[in-house]
Structure 1
Amino acid sequence: MSKLGDAVASEWTKFWSVRATWLSLAASAVLMTAYSVMGGLVIARDGETGSVRSIAINGAFYMAQFPVIAVAALFVTSEYASGSIRSSLLWVPVRNRLLLAKATVLLPVLFVLGAVLAGLSMVVGGVLAGAHAIPVPAGQIVLTIAGMAAYFALLGVLCLGIGTALRSTAGTIVSVMVLLLMLPMLVGALGANALVDYFPGFAGVNGMLPEGEMNPIFHTPTVYAPWIGTLSCAAWSVAALVAGSVVLRKRDA
């Protein structure tokens, strides 16, 4: 096995051996399901047509993404809190390799989580909404599932990079929330609306929708193709990972 492979195997074991991982992933599923049940019942109760894709996207943004942020942040900050980062760095002395190993673990896990929760949400919401659910083409369903999977995976890497730089669970979660919500709102209020769609939260949601469709979170039409939204998220995640790598190499040389 390669040295990177050894590091990935070690991080994989650490990731799944911590109770917080299981609790966070379970919380994400419970919150998404609860929102989908509520969304489907509201559509059926009101007697108006509604989109199951909107239920899934709203559920991800307002509910399911918060445990994802927590589990990704804790994957690195908990080691600093407990002091076990010293053992990790002794086992993997090449700093960038350690960070890459953690990212390699997070990406597939959160990608699968996003895909499963998107599909589950649309099924649950559609069943409960019944005849009031708006028919959705298969291509758009696949787009929403793939977009949510990519968003969750890239959000995890974003949190990993910021967490490595800050070394604080609370600081990481607050910083990510500011980046996802508060900062875009401030930029929009200052009149730079053209920039708002390229912040990671906005871009992630736009990556789940066809170009020109109304964004169910922000109630504005998407202004670019879905792949641009996903690419924007990826750029933020890579930048965060690079920042985390620089701090890791300087402070833990």
Structure 2
Amino acid sequence: MTKLGDAVASEWTKFWSVRATWWSLAASAVLMAFYSVMGGLVIARDGETGSVRTIAINGAFYMAQFPVIAIATLFVTSEYASGSIRSSLLWVPVRNRLLLAKSAVLLPVLFVLGAVLAGLAMVVGGLFAGDHAIAITTGEVVLTIAGMAAYFALLGLLCLGIGTALRSTAGAIVSVIVLLLMVPMLVGALGANALVDYFPGFAGVNGMLPKGELNPIIHSPTVYPPWIGVLSCAAWSVAALAAGSVLLRKRDA
């Protein structure tokens, strides 16, 4: 029976051996850099002060997170599409161990990606905003970097769980986007605004902000400390992985 360490090594090799991984990582960086340049130029053009942290957060939510969704979803659904999932399950017959191995690969890669992109966005945005960029503290920088790193990592696990459950690339990507954007907007429109902050996308943004600061996506103050936002994202990811695990064991036994 394959050990967890061997399973992780195998999944690590598979993850980096496909071009889609590299293209998606590059796309995430390019989109973040593009948004940061545009955000900085807008601040400089308008002649008003602006926060590079807002540029970074908006860039992550509106641009960079979508290649992350693609990376994490394809990590499992591409195997169902090609039929290679059969070989993976023969190599790692313990279903939960396979899912754990994939999670162990995604988590650190996307954590580092989020941290790097947050730093990149603040540096690039600050360069183009010039003297109009608001001064920020070291603590604010660290919170933005750590929060974005955690959000991207947990978003990847959410996509992995949903992708395992649905086995369809298109279905999983659409489902994640609907969960991140459409469902909370509908919930808010129905008057349940208190719940919006606990959906994974908006909770992820709140995880990059101190309590009381304006969330630049929904334009309302955060109602809890950043660790609650991260914990909310983690709860969604655990639920998705649990659903994927149950279906993997029952359907692909």
TM-score (norm 2): 0.99
Deviations 1:75-126 (A, max 9, x none): 0000000000000000000000000000000000000000000000000000
Partner of 1:60 in structure 2? 60
The letter of the residue matching 1:182 is M
Residue 90 (str. 1) matches residue 90 (str. 2): yes
Q: CA deviation at 1:20?
A: 0.2
In structure 1, the partner of 2:112 is 112
Deviations 1:190-217 (A, max 9, x none): 1111111000001000000000000111
For 1:116 and 1:177, how far apart are their aligned partners in 2?
23
* 1:13 counterpart residue number: 13
- What residue number does 1:226 align with? 226
Separation (CA, whole Å) in 1 of partners of 2:141 and 2:218: 20
In structure 2, the partner of 1:175 is 175
> Residue 132 of structure 1 aligns with which residue?
132
- The residue aligned with 1:40 is 40
Distance 2:120 2:142 in 1: 13
1:73 paired residue number: 73
Question: Number of paired residues?
Answer: 252
Rounded to whole Å, the distance in 1 between the matches of 2:185 and 2:18 is: 35
Cross-structure match for 2:160: 160
SS of match in other structure, 2:220: coil
Distance 1:194 1:226 in 2: 16
What is the alpha-carbon distance in structure 1 between the residues aligned to residue 58 and residue 176 of structure 2? 18
| Structure 2 Cα separation of the partners of residues 39 and 202 of structure 1 | 20
Give distance in 2, aligned partners of 1:129 and 1:24. 27
Secondary structure (helix, strand or coil) at the match of 2:215 reads coil
* 1:199 corresponds to 2:199: yes
Question: Which runs of no fewer than 5 residues in structure 1 stay unpaired?
Answer: none
Q: How big is each residue's C-alpha offset from its partner over 1:111-154, in whole Å with a ceiling of 9 and x where there is no partner?
A: 00000000000000001111000001110110000000000000
Gaps of 5+ in 2: none
Matched residue type, 1:138:
T
**Separation in structure 1 between the aligned mates of residue 59 and residue 205 of structure 2, nearest angstrom:** 11
CA drift of 1:176 comes to 0.2
Aligned to 1:244: 244
Query: Which residue matches 1:189?
Result: 189
Equivalence for 1:23: 23
Q: What percentage of aligned pairs have identical amino acids?
A: 88
> 1:147 maps to which residue?
147
- Match of 1:75, as an amino acid? F
Counterpart residue type for residue 220 of structure 1: S
Question: Matched residues in 1 for 2:122 and 2:163: separation?
Answer: 32
So what's the TM-score if we normalise by structure 1? 0.99
> Following TM superposition, by how much is the alpha carbon of 1:45 offset from its aligned partner in structure 2, in angstroms?
1.0
**Residue 51 (structure 2) aligns with:** 51
Residue 165 of structure 1 deviates from its aligned partner by 0.2
